[in-house]
Amino acid sequence: MKQPPRCVIILIHGFAEHSQRYTHFAKFYNEHNYTVVSMDLRGHGISEGQRGFAPSIESLWQDLDLLISEIRQRYPLSPIVLYGHSMGGNLCLSYALNRNTSKTSVCPYAAMIVTGPWIRLTAQPMSPVSFLIRTLSRIHPTLNLPLKLDSTLVSRDKDVVEAYVNDPLVHGRATAALFASINDMALTMDKNGGEFFIPVLIQHGGADGLTSYVASRRFAERSKGDVLYKEWPDLYHEIHNEPEKDLIFQFTLNWIEEKLFPKKEQLDT
């Protein structure tokens, strides 16, 4: 009989990209008897719908509900780690803060990891612009916004940047509804922090030019619970695609092992 995986990582990708950009990530954890599962968010990758459109953040949380429920049924004996990058980091953090709001609430996953989370953009829209986008999201939710992401800020690895630019599934578009809902949630988290009832690891590149590492650090400091912030100096936005990625994968693996599978001597102290 096949043994269950030691752990299952549910990966939530970032804005305008897709899950197939994480095959090397999955390969590393597969080698340690971890299973990695993911989906393309609606409006992304090979999923259906207008590119960059989701009617609300709640609709994305509902998609997460379904995915987590499916994985829980498929791997009932394996702990689950929820892992999100960039916009996916925003979704994971906000999901926990809105779905698991007390110690008594049943949490279907055992830990959470986010990298480069969208808590605040480095080029954060001014309040009047955010207000305009919020208004547009109500009047014309499917309106495409004139956003332009600088691909050179994704990674210091030129091959990664070239692959990103030439990837037909990287669309670089956001609708008013998607941007407004994610940005509003980011502003709320940036202002208030959060309270978590599972271990949380927040990692950010210290040279991230897309999302603010200062905001991630501040969020971790303001939050309650077992929350660790790890900053990687000189690294860009996609730390999992930087030349130092193997070091980061190993650090992350060690953190999961420490939190989910503590050694006996740790339990006795």
- Cα 206 from chain centre: 17
**Residue 178 in domain:** yes
Q: In 3D, which of 118, 90, 269 has the Cα closest to residue 208?
A: 118
What CATH number has the domain bearing residue 37? Answer: 3.40.50.1820
| Structural domain contains residue 2 | no
- The sheet with strand 34-38 has its strands ordered as 34-38, 7-12, 80-85, 111-115, 200-205, 227-232
Tokens found for residue 262 = 């503590």
- Structural domain including 30 reads 7-268
End-to-end CA distance of the chain: 36
pLDDT confidence band for 267 (50 / 70 / 90): low
Residues for the chain: how many in total? Answer: 269
Helices (H), 75-109: 87-99
In a domain, 61, yes or no: yes
Question: Which residue is associated with the tokens 């953090």?
Answer: 93
Residue 1 in domain: no
- In whole angstroms, what is the distance from residue 173 CA to residue 211 CA? 17
Tally of structural domains, the chain: 1
> pLDDT tens-digit profile of 228-260?
999 999 999 999 999 999 999 999 999 999 999
Q: Say what the pTM is.
A: 0.94
Place of tokens 């986008």: 133
> What are 5-54's pLDDT values in tens digits?
999 999 999 999 999 999 999 999 999 999 999 999 999 999 999 999 99
Instruction: Please count the other Cβ atoms lying within 10 Å of the Cβ belonging to residue 236.
Output: 23
| pLDDT tens digits for range 144-200 | 887 778 999 999 999 999 999 999 999 888 999 999 999 999 999 999 999 999 999
DSSP 35: E
